[in-house]
Structures are given as C-alpha cells and as structure tokens.
Amino acid sequence: MEPDSRFAEFVADRGDALLRYGYVLAGNPHDAADLVQEALVKLRAAWPRLRSKDNPESYARTTMARLHIATWRLRRREHLAWALPEGEHHDALPAGDERDLWQALAGLPRRQRAVVVLRYYEQLTDSEIAAVLGISRGTVRSQVSRALDKLRAALPPPGEPVPDRQLHPHAGRGEAR
C-alpha cells in the first residue's frame, strides 16, 4: 500500500474521532475543524517518519492539544475591546444536563479546559499531560483542581436546574444601573 493511500485511509478512518476530540478540546465546531486540519497538515508532513509506528492518531491528538494551547497563549496577548458586539451567537449544544456540562466546560479558561479534556477524555496521566502541554506536573494538578472547582460551582447536583448567571458570569454587564 502506498504511503499516500495509508494517510488517506487513516484520515477516512479516524477523521471523525479527531473532530470529536477537537470539539471537546476547543468547545466549538469551527475551532475543532481548524485544529484537525492543522494537525493533519503536520501529520502529513511527518507521515514518512511515522509509517512504521502503530498509532499515528496519538501524534495527531498531541499536535491538536499543543496547537490549542499555542492559540490560547497567543490570544492571551490580545487587547480586548470594551464595546461588545451588537448581536449574540450561540453554537448548538446537546440537550439536557449534558448541555449544561458542555456550557460549563466551554466557560473554563483554555488551559484548564485542555487539562480536563486530556485527563478525563484522553485519560492521560499528570506526567503525560505535562509533556503534551509543556507545563509542569504541579501546574497540571493545580489547573485540574481549579477547573473542577469551577465546574462544581457551575453545575448543581443532578436533577436541579442550572441558573443562567452561574454559567455566564458576565451576564448583565452593560445594563443600565
């Protein structure tokens, strides 16, 4: 089988799984698609070196996590405008309690979200997460702790409704006082 056909077969077989992983990592379908696309471009460039390896998906997922964090680091340097846009846009979310969890997860800072996804979705150890994100194991533990505290505060016990204000802490800003 030709290397190009192996790569095409990998993309056809695992593309949807990578897109789901990107969605969990980024919190929206547009950024997820961008992460997958960039990771696959990098994987394609590295494909000749990886063809003998058993798990090219691991390379793609690690690349996606690193790209996600790199984007977060770049955005940290941006200067935000005080004026808010005129209209609102909300991506479609799953229904019920799961929707509340997705909203709470999307409300986490990028690094906290990445650490939670890598630990609970990818089931990586602290050492593996630290290696993927280029941070210390202590930072991994503190970010997970902070993220879980925020998620617990945002999500009531099962069966109770979630107030909008808890999930949207900036709701109400800009209103007349």
Q: For residue 148, is it within any domain?
A: yes
Averaged over 103-132, what is the pLDDT?
89
* 129 vs 176: which has the higher pLDDT: 129
Q: For residue 55, is it within any domain?
A: yes
Q: For residue 87, is it within any domain?
A: no
What is the Cβ-side half-sphere exposure of residue 8, based on CA atoms within 13 angstroms?
A: 5
Tens digit of each residue's pLDDT (9 = 90 or more) over 9-36 = 999 999 999 999 999 888 889 999 999 9
Tens digit of each residue's pLDDT (9 = 90 or more) over 62-77 = 999 999 888 766 655 5
Q: For residue 27, is it within any domain?
A: yes
- Element spanning 16, H or E: helix 3-26
Using pLDDT thresholds of 50, 70 and 90, give the confidence band for residue 120: confident
Rounded Cα distance between 46 and 49, Å, is 6
Residue 171 pLDDT exceeds 80 = no
Say if residue 7 is in the same domain as residue 55: yes
**pLDDT score of 170:** 42
CB 144 within 8 A of CB 81: no
Using pLDDT thresholds of 50, 70 and 90, give the confidence band for residue 173: very low
Tens digit of each residue's pLDDT (9 = 90 or more) over 146-160 = 998 888 888 766 555
Residues in the chain: 177
- Buried b / exposed e along 156-174 (16+ C-beta atoms within 10 A): eeeeeebeeebeeeeeeee
Domain that holds residue 16: 3-76
- Rg, C-alpha atoms of the chain: 18
Please, what is the average pLDDT of the chain?
78
CATH number at residue 113: 1.10.10.10
**pLDDT score of 166:** 44
Say if residue 72 is in the same domain as residue 111: no
- φ/ψ bin of 94: left (φ > 0), alpha (ψ from -120 to 50), beta (otherwise): beta
Q: For residue 62, is it within any domain?
A: yes
Averaged over 64-93, what is the pLDDT?
64
Say if residue 7 is in the same domain as residue 72: yes
Say if residue 105 is in the same domain as residue 72: no
Residue 164 pLDDT exceeds 80 = no
Averaged over 115-131, what is the pLDDT?
89
Dihedral sign for Cα atoms in the order 122, 126, 131, 135: positive
CB 106 within 8 A of CB 91: no
**pLDDT score of 32:** 92
Q: How many domains does the chain have?
A: 2
CB 42 within 8 A of CB 84: no
Rounded Cα distance between 106 and 30, Å, is 14
Residue 61's closest CA among 88, 24, 95? 24
* 128 vs 172: which has the higher pLDDT: 128
Angle between helices 56-76 and 126-133 (to 10 degrees): 60
Say if residue 104 is in the same domain as residue 60: no
